[in-house]
Amino acid sequence: MGTTTFSGPVISTNGVVADVIGAIKLPPYTVASAPSAATAGAGTLVYVSNGAAGAAILAFSDGTNWLRSDTRATITAA
């Protein structure tokens, strides 16, 4: 199996599921610099350094908003 370096989301269009071994590094965003949740698409995961009322959080797109992974509330800086 080969390895590669890329940027952007990983999208499966044929139902293929891959096992990931090791760490996954997501690019950091702030609430202000996060890309459009609609453009990113539902199911996209991001790291938001201040998205949990100023604290770091993983967030996912529902196709409209970035939602906190712990509460499903929209990310906020404060």
Q: Structure pTM?
A: 0.74
pLDDT for residue 47 = 97
pLDDT by residue for the chain (78 residues), tens only, comes to 566 666 666 666 676 666 777 888 898 999 999 999 999 999 999 999 999 999 999 999 999 999 999 999 999 998
Assigned token pair, 5: 């370096």
Rounded-to-10 torsion of CA 24, 19, 10, 40: -70
Domain ranges of the chain: 28-68
Write 25-31 long-range contacts (CB < 8 A, 24+): 26/58, 30/77, 31/75, 31/76, 31/77
